[in-house]
Amino acid sequence: MSILYEEIYKLKNLLRKGWIIRNISDKQTGRVESDAEHTFSMAILALEIMSKEKLNLDELKVLKMTMYHELCEIDAGDHVPQEVIKQEINKEEKYNIEKACAERIARECNMPEILTLWLEFEEGRTREAKFVKAIDKLDAVMQSKIYDKQNGTNYFQKFYEYSKDIIKPFKKHI
């Protein structure tokens, strides 16, 4: 079995902390979305939007960046912005742990592009990185809408307000 598969398997069991904190889950299964599920839905969402919007982006790079962007949480865990704001974890410490994980996985799997694309995503220095960051937020907003419909909760507006500046170009897809 490949080292990378063993690593990504961990994402299947890493639950999205934002939903756990809010005590919200899928009404049918009672499960909370995992990082792997989030990554998969981001990839499909990215493909849909790139196709419909005829965006001039490197689609393969977008998909790889989408797939790699959560790998760092294997070691760092899933930290929501509220934790960083409340100083339960320092932004610099979070970044350093995540970077060390991306470096480790890239090295162990002999796939330097994992680190390269993770850094590009974190820095948001390219059109593809900015797009993937928007898709990351858009997916959370859309997931909140699904959970709200199922559970009669009202998180969508909060998630939307928090992300609206980043996702504005893709609002019509919500």
Phi first, then psi, for residue 127 (nearest 5°) are -60, -40
Report the number of distinct structural domains present in the chain.
1
Burial class (CB in 10 A: 0-12, 13-18, 19+), 52: exposed
Mean pLDDT of 152-159: 90
- 44 found inside a domain: yes
Read off the DSSP letter of residue 86: T
- 143 found inside a domain: no
Residue 86 binned pLDDT confidence (cut-offs 50, 70, 90): low
User: Can you give the pTM of this predicted structure?
Assistant: 0.91
- 164 found inside a domain: no
pLDDT tens across 89-135, in order?
A: 778 888 999 999 999 999 999 999 999 999 999 999 999 999 999 99
- 86 found inside a domain: yes
- 126 found inside a domain: yes
Q: Which domain holds residue 118?
A: 3-130
Q: Are 11 and 36 in contact (CB under 8 A)?
A: yes
Helix (H, G, I), strand (E, B) or coil at 80: coil
User: According to the model, what pLDDT value does residue 84 have?
Assistant: 46
- CATH number for 14: 1.10.3210.10
Q: Are 129 and 65 in contact (CB under 8 A)?
A: yes
- 156 found inside a domain: no
- 163 found inside a domain: no
